[in-house]
Structure 1
Amino acid sequence: MGALPIPPTPPGTDLTGKTAIVTGGNAGLGLEAARQYLTLKAARVIIAVRSPAKGKEAIAELKADPTVQKLNPNAAIEAFPLDLDDFQSGVDFVRKVKSEVPELDILLNNGGTNILKYHKSASGHERVMQGLPLSARILVTRTLLIRETAVNVYTHFLISLGLLPLLISTAERRGAPTHLSFVGSSMQSSHSLTKKPLTPNGSFLEHFDDQKTYDAMTRYQDSKFMVNVLVRGLAKVVGEENPKVIVNHMCPGLVYTGFDKNLPLWLKPLMYIYRRVSARHVSEGARTLIHATAAEGSESHGKFLSNNIIRSGEVPFLDEAAGKAFTEKAWKELVAECSKFEPGLSRYA
């Protein structure tokens, strides 16, 4: 019943002199990924967080880590403000990075959330699809309660487009590709569009914003599905042959990060047993993120990884005519939406 073991990061994986950004990097998988980047000798690691206080706490924890102190004591560790609930915060984040970060080797889109009630974001969209700056929430399906990191879509997309030129220029300077990665999920195959399809002339944003089409049991899956859609689109923009930026997404699996203390008392024993049998330790789950962003090459460009293995056909809908039409519509519509906040992004339409 347990998850497949994730092997150690390949020997020789070396981030000396490189810069990594991790959204949602103050807790859980994001914090552990930041720690592992540092143990691989990254010169600069920036965690994107909503709370300055939590950012300071995370920086202190990373600096105090014995392995980091031993292997990379002089690394620069910083926290930049980012509220994934708000497009404008994403714009401000991109501008800060561009002004203060001359080179960017890894952008790991990790932060996000899942909530089980309909809410709108600060930017006016359904909140799970927009993005809320928490590393995790409880996900309830009809058969199982599990926990995964939810990377929500819209603000991360704006950030990715905004920082793409920096990733490209860094790759050109290094003479080697950089990485743009999203934490995804195998649950993307259970998205709602096959049961609640988009109308032929409908807006995908309006579809997911409509409370009538909202389903708490599938919205998390929908957000992961949209990550796949946008990873494919970003891969095409970068170029599919010898890409300067490797764009991919990965599933870390079920990871135990200690959040069960907030569960109802009756559920804690059940989840404790389930996690002891099935969940990965956070260090192991984070290695899937490190593998995709620091060890995988261009063979993973535009692809999805599970257990560090490239998977194909994970969402059959996307390879069908209806899925391809949806992908094209979603890309154009979301670029147009992001361009309202950062007009320069319109060139990607």
Structure 2
Amino acid sequence: MDLKNKTILITGGTSGIGLEAAKQFLALGNKVIITGRNLLKLEEVKKAYPELTIIQSDAANPQDAIALFEKVEHIGGIDILYNNAGVGAAPLNLGISSDKHLQGAIYEMEVNYFGVIRLNNLFMDMLKSRNEAAIINTTSILSIVPSVLEATYSATKAALSFYTKSLRSHLEFINSPVKVFELLPPLVDTDMVAERKDKKMSSSLFVKELIKGLEKDTLTIRVGDSKSLFFLNRIAPDKAYQLVNKKEHYQSIQ
């Protein structure tokens, strides 16, 4: 895929992977639009990178999604929709009765799964009208093997992975020009996992790998540990599960 002179919309672009992707896409000569819930953060990013277009939008809010589409349509549309926004609830002890389990699960599913489908539906006809277009859905290493500390997060990403494969097949069947990429990050060094002591990949290196995959039309882009865990899970699923869910993980929820 040619990654020059494209207009790219990145959800959740005020920090971490989203912001790094915005910077690297800009450097390649693209126009980049980022979204975020926090207007102050968006404005701070805009000051640092004036070339960016910012739009306040909450991935969990259906009305925000419609407003986002209308604003993007007004400024000329997009070629690439990068569904980067995602949330993970704090680790919860599922063995103790609590309404917070359900509340957190509903919110994670709303952002990580339903929010992606909602935007894809809104932007699909626009993307189909382009000569070369793409959707990038961000799943996770935990869509391969679930984490006991992030049960619903893992489930949302597994659901998104199945949806992404199905969407790709449907679009290929109707000869659509829209390419559908699945991006499987390992543990990336962002604010979301700042307290984790596990090995992390830098967001800069991660985005470079993303761009390589897009340019090569690698529709399933596994990066770093996601690649090795995928193969380990195929030949030794028990070992893969133990690797993701170490004993100390269980101890932390007792």
TM-score range, shorter chain: 0.7 to 0.9
Q: Work out the CA distance in 2 between the residues paired with 1:315 and 1:285.
A: 22
Conserved 8 A contact 1:45-1:77: yes
Structure 1: any 5+ residue segments left out of the alignment?
1-12, 64-75, 132-151, 172-176, 193-214, 317-349
Seq. identity, %: 23
Conserved 8 A contact 2:2-2:215: no
Superposed displacement of residue 35, structure 1: 0.2
SS of the residue corresponding to residue 115 of structure 1 reads coil
Conserved 8 A contact 1:118-1:216: no
Are 1:220 and 2:153 matched, yes or no? yes
Which of 107, 117, 135 is residue 127 of structure 1 equivalent to?
Answer: 107
Superposed displacement of residue 18, structure 1: 1.4
Superposed displacement of residue 242, structure 1: 5.6
SS of the residue corresponding to residue 88 of structure 2 reads coil
Conserved 8 A contact 1:189-1:314: no
Q: Work out the CA distance in 1 between the residues paired with 2:110 and 2:192.
A: 23
Are 1:255 and 2:188 matched, yes or no? yes
What residue in structure 2 maps to residue 154 of structure 1? Answer: 114
Which of 210, 224, 247 is residue 289 of structure 1 equivalent to?
Answer: 210
What residue in structure 1 maps to residue 223 of structure 2? Answer: 307
CA distance 1:240–1:62, shift in 2 (3 Å): farther
What residue in structure 2 maps to residue 62 of structure 1? Answer: 49
Q: Which amino acid aligns with 1:17?
A: N
Superposed displacement of residue 156, structure 1: 1.5
Q: What does residue range 1-349 of structure 1 map to in structure 2 within 5 Å?
A: 15-42=3-30, 44-63=31-50, 76-102=51-77, 104-116=78-90, 117-118=100-101, 120=103, 126-131=106-111, 152-171=112-131, 177-190=132-145, 217-240=150-173, 243-257=176-190, 263=195, 271=197, 274=198, 278-292=199-213, 294-297=214-217, 300=219, 304-307=220-223
Q: State the Cα RMSD in Å.
A: 3.0
Q: Work out the CA distance in 2 between the residues paired with 1:296 and 1:315.
A: 25
CA distance 1:53–1:188, shift in 2 (3 Å): same
Q: Work out the CA distance in 2 between the residues paired with 1:217 and 1:16.
A: 37
Conserved 8 A contact 2:37-2:57: yes
Structure 2: any 5+ residue segments left out of the alignment?
91-99, 235-254
Conserved 8 A contact 1:55-1:79: yes
Size of the aligned set, in residue pairs, is 223
CA distance 1:307–1:61, shift in 2 (3 Å): same
